[in-house]
Amino acid sequence: MASHSGKHETDTTAIGTIYDWRLLYPWNLAQFLFNLYYVMVQLLIMALFKPRPPQRDEPLKRPYGRIAVIGAGLTGVSSAAHAISHNFEVVLFEQGDSVGGIWSHVNSTSGLQLNSLLYRFHPALRWSTTFPKRDEILKEIRRIWSEYKLEKRTRLNTHVTSVTRHDSSTNPAEGGHARWMVNGEGPFDAVVVTIGTCGDKKDASLKGLEDFHGLVIHSSELDDVDLKGKRVVVIGSGASGVEAVELAVQKQAGLVTVIARSDKWIIPRNIVFDTALSLQPFGRELPLSWIPEDLLRLFHYGRESWVSPAHLGLFEGTPVVNDAFLEEIHEGKCHYIRGDVLNATSTGVKVNVRARDSYPKDPGSEEHFDADVLVMATGFQRPSIDFLPKDLFPERYHRPNLYLQNFSVEDWSVLLTNTAYVNAIGTVGHFHIGIYLRVLLCLLLDPAARPFPDDMKLWVDLLRWLKRDSAGGALSFFTYMELTIWLVSFHFFRPERLKCSSPLRILLHQSLYAFLLCLIWHWNQHVSGMVVDEVTQFSKAVLDV
């Protein structure tokens, strides 16, 4: 392996990476121990929680049931892997030509906002860096897909158009459940919808765009675009907009301007702060929520506190996790403009520039911003679930107002993992994917544990009452601690569910792991250098033993 910055040499062996005498330097030794800890934690998680994959590609001989998984992104692949490892036959339906979901349609520089130890969507994951990029994420998704023998069980290039009830269905109100036909194939004992929240790219509906003489491109298509010395205007200040700004700066754009219709909270890549926020159990703004907000303005925003939201609470929307964006504004590499884009011109865009305490479309001053490239950070459309029967989602109980935020209130045999998500402080790619799937398996195997439709509606109604003053609705925003409370309490609402020891045990183990992990990491914020650059070779060598 080439030496890091040319200052020392390393030698990769079958059991790891051996460094020269410079390893004894205190900082290098600390980094090496951090790398070792990073690898050992993953090995421990794999040893404790990784379910055994099938040994052969052949169909299971005596499966407990058959499950259809719609969508082969990380949630779909993880759900299918958990199901088949617990002796349920699965079929994956994917409308694209490969697995990977949204990660197959973003820039190669796109990566995790959170530390990879908090993005373990399956226990078998083997991350080699703390903040992996797109290619490593796709590699891990496909490795699990292959290890759990899901290739022959996947229908690629298959767009699901209909999910209908089979004649053998029983009544959920009497303790039964529907059996399902997917595109005429089946029957399946359950359907897991894992199409996520990012579908097709949103079209740029901007007046006068056809008159613009420069390049117009979506923020997910910047890999091969030359931005050096060019004036770049990024329309949108969400996660994709912030990432587009970073990439434009890296590509040495001449001037980068970001147009923010509304301000988003920007939180640091600090495991202490991020974990503390996600541990808030109420999933809503509280009288003391001003404390973390003011701490953010003081220690993270600093002199750029004018960029922070004036009206949006920290627990009312999904924050952007980023360390560089505010620094780029401070250094003049990016101009932050709060306003509404009025129209495009031949040379740029006209914007209604507003003050910080304003709302979208409030009066402001009209200004023109020159551009060679317009980057549309408009995000992605929410995928439709019109292929499911409409009676699964009665009035007032459609996404995200579902049982445990993921089960249809009319029939628990339809699970929508990570498909009802709107806003949260947490991670979509963590242990809850396996827990939700195990809850489903528990309900399939034990009729006494099954909730009735009225019970599931009551759960939603109760949460509505508890969070009746929440902006946007009770289930439109949650924290990871709140989600964990839902899943733990599920087992105690009815004593019969305590017999489902597998999901309960896994949930408690994973919750304990998450808690201990947070405690261990409280000393660390973000270690650069060796942790990001050299841990790749070190961990690969150890994990491949």
DSSP string over 329-352: HHTTSEEEEEEEEEEE-SSEEEEE
Q: Are residues 344 and 328 part of one domain?
A: yes
Last residue of a domain, one of 356, 376, 396: 376
Q: Are residues 408 and 371 part of one domain?
A: no
| pLDDT value for 511 | 53
Q: Are residues 312 and 216 part of one domain?
A: yes
Residue 300's alpha-carbon distances to 9, 293, 426, in angstroms, are 37, 10, 19
> Among 362, 366, 354, which Cα is nearest to 260's?
354
Q: What count of Cα atoms within 13 Å lies in the side-chain half-sphere of residue 126?
A: 17
43 within a domain of the structure (yes/no): no
14 within a domain of the structure (yes/no): no
Last residue of a domain, one of 376, 396, 415: 376
The residues pairing with 165 across neighbouring beta strands, listed in sequence order, are 180
| pLDDT value for 148 | 97
Residue with tokens 């990012």: 198
> Among 446, 451, 538, 473, which Cα is nearest to 4's?
538
Report H helices in 403-500: 432-445, 453-466, 480-493
Q: What is the DSSP string of 188-256?
A: ESEEEE---S--SBPP---TTGGG--SEEEEGGG-TT---BT-EEEEE--SHHHHHHHHHHHHTTBSEE
> Quick count: other Cβ atoms within 10 Å of Cβ 267?
20
Peptide bond between residue 187 and the one before it cis (omega within 30 degrees of 0)? yes
262 within a domain of the structure (yes/no): yes
CA–CA gap between residue 506 and residue 356 (Å, rounded): 46
Last residue of a domain, one of 317, 346, 376: 376
366 within a domain of the structure (yes/no): yes
Q: Are residues 372 and 240 part of one domain?
A: yes
Q: Are residues 187 and 281 part of one domain?
A: no
In CATH, what number is assigned to the domain containing residue 119? 3.50.50.60
CA–CA gap between residue 68 and residue 186 (Å, rounded): 9
Q: Are residues 262 and 342 part of one domain?
A: yes
| pLDDT value for 539 | 43
The first and second tokens of residue 257, run together, are 């301007």
> Quick count: other Cβ atoms within 10 Å of Cβ 162?
12
Q: Are residues 215 and 292 part of one domain?
A: yes
CB 107 within 8 A of CB 242: no
The first and second tokens of residue 47, run together, are 């040893």
Q: Are residues 215 and 359 part of one domain?
A: yes
Q: Are residues 235 and 179 part of one domain?
A: no
Q: Are residues 288 and 191 part of one domain?
A: no
The number of distinct structural domains making up the chain is 2
CA–CA gap between residue 361 and residue 354 (Å, rounded): 9
Contacts of 75 (CB under 8 A, 6+ apart): 101, 121, 194, 196, 417, 418, 428, 429, 433
Q: What is the pLDDT along the chain (545 residues), one digit of tens a residue?
A: 333 333 333 333 333 444 456 666 777 777 777 778 888 888 888 888 899 999 888 999 999 999 999 999 999 999 999 999 999 999 999 999 999 999 999 999 999 988 888 899 999 999 988 889 999 999 999 999 999 999 999 999 999 999 999 999 999 999 999 999 999 999 999 999 999 999 999 887 899 999 999 999 999 999 999 999 999 999 999 999 999 999 999 999 999 999 999 999 999 988 778 888 988 999 999 999 999 999 999 999 999 999 999 999 999 999 999 999 999 999 999 999 999 999 999 999 999 999 999 999 999 999 999 999 999 999 999 999 999 999 999 999 999 999 999 999 999 999 999 999 999 998 888 889 999 999 999 999 999 999 999 999 999 999 999 999 888 889 999 998 999 889 888 887 777 777 665 545 545 555 554 554 444 443 333 333 333 334 434 444 444 44
CA–CA gap between residue 323 and residue 525 (Å, rounded): 11
CA–CA gap between residue 545 and residue 531 (Å, rounded): 20
372 within a domain of the structure (yes/no): yes
42 within a domain of the structure (yes/no): no
CA–CA gap between residue 234 and residue 378 (Å, rounded): 10
540 within a domain of the structure (yes/no): no
CA 340-343-349 angle, 5° bins: 85
| pLDDT value for 252 | 96
The residues pairing with 218 across neighbouring beta strands, listed in sequence order, are 376
3-state DSSP assignment of residue 164 = strand
411 within a domain of the structure (yes/no): yes
Contacts of 190 (CB under 8 A, 6+ apart): 65, 67, 68, 177, 180, 413, 414, 415, 440, 444
Q: Are residues 186 and 74 part of one domain?
A: yes
| pLDDT value for 509 | 52
Q: Which domain holds residue 97?
A: 65-199+382-523
Q: Are residues 325 and 406 part of one domain?
A: no
